[in-house]
Amino acid sequence: MRAFSAANRFGALALSLALLAGCASNNSTSEDDDEFAGVQERELYELARTALDSNRFPIAIERLEALDTRYPFGPHAEQAQLELIYAYYENNNWEEARAAASRFIRLHPDHPQADYAYYLRGLAAWQAGRFSLERLRLIDISKRDLGASRDAYNDFRELIQRFPQSEYAPDAQQRIVYLRELLARHELHVADYYLRRGAFLAAVERGRWVIENYPEADATRDALATMVEGYQGLGMEDRAGEVLTVLRENAPDHEQLRGGRFRPKH
C-alpha cells in the first residue's frame, strides 16, 4: 500500500511539473509572438513610416496592421489606415487594398482624403484586371472574366462623380476611357462568339447592351453592325433595316457596310 502511494505521489508530481512547463512555454510563446507589446502608438506609427519610406512594404503592413488593431481610435489611426491601403497596393495585395479602401470609405466618408481611398481602390482593381488580361489567351473568349476591370471602371466613375475637383480625377478619367473601350470590346467579342454559333438573339442583346451602357465608346459602331447581323440571322429584316440606317448615319465608312454586306432582303 505504501509503494502504491509513493508511485501515485511521483506521478502527480510529474504531471504538475509537465503542466507548469507547458504554461511557461505558452507564456513564452505568447510574449515572443507579441512583437509590439509595450510599444506606444506614436512609436509604432514611426516604425511603420520608416518601413514605408524604405519600401519595405511587408514590414510596413505588419506594423500598420498592429497599429490599427491596438489603437483603432488613436490620433494616428486614420492616417495609418490610409497608409495601409497604400502598403497593400505597393505589395501587390490588391484584394486587401480594395477591402481596406472600402473600409476606410465606410468609416470616414467625409475625410479630406477620401478621394485618395477611392483612387487607390480603383488602381488596385485596375492592376488586378491588367494581370488577369496578361494571362489570357486568344481562345475561348466568351469565358474571359473582366470582373476586376469592371470594378476599376465603376470605382473611377464613382471617384469622379463624388470628387470632380479631385487631383486624382484627370487620371481616373483617362483610365475610364481605356476601360470603357476594353469592356465594350469584350462584350462584342462575346457577341461575335454567339454569331458564329447561331445564337443570334444573344448576339443582338450583347450589341444593345454595349450601346446602352457605353454610349461614348467607339465600339458602339461595331455594336450596331453586330445587331444588324443578329437581326438578319433571326430573319427580322425590318429591325435589321432600322439598325442599318442608324449605322449608316453614324458610321458611313464602317467596314461592314462595304460591298452591300448588310443589304436587307426583300
pLDDT of 5: 47
Half-sphere exposure of residue 26, counting CA atoms within 13 Å on the CB side? 6
The model's confidence at residue 257, banded by pLDDT at 50, 70 and 90, is confident
DSSP string, 41-63: HHHHHHHHHHHHHTT-HHHHHHH
Share of the chain above pLDDT 90, in %: 70
Residue with cell 467596314: 255
CB 68 within 8 A of CB 83: no
Buried b or exposed e, range 125-137, using 16+ CB within 10 angstroms: bbbbbeeeeeeee
Rounded CA-CA distance 105/97 in Å is 12
The 10s digit of each residue's pLDDT in 126-169 is 998 876 554 544 444 434 568 889 999 999 999 999 999 999 99
Task: Write down all domains in the chain, each with its CATH number in brackets.
Answer: 185-266 (1.25.40.10)
Q: Which tens digits make up the pLDDT trace of 30-76?
A: 443 467 767 799 999 999 999 999 999 999 999 999 999 999 999 99
Average confidence score pLDDT of the chain: 84
Sign of CA dihedral 50, 54, 55, 58: negative
Distances in Å between the Cα of 42 and the Cα atoms of 78, 80, 124 are 13, 11, 28
pLDDT tens digit string along 168-204? 999 999 999 999 998 999 999 999 999 999 999 999 9
The distance of Cα 264 from the centroid of its chain, to the nearest Å, equals: 44
Say if residue 33 is exposed, middle or buried (CB neighbours under 10 Å; 0-12, 13-18, 19+): exposed
- Give the model's confidence band at 19: pLDDT under 50 very low, under 70 low, under 90 confident, else very high: very low
Average pLDDT over residues 221-231: 95
Under 8 Å between Cβ of 217 and 251: no
Cα separation, 97 vs 150, in Å, equals 17
Grid cell, residue 17, equals: 511539473
- Geometric angle at alpha carbon 231, from 225 and 235, rounded to 5°: 145
Q: Residue type for 184, please?
A: A
Cell, residue 172? 481616373
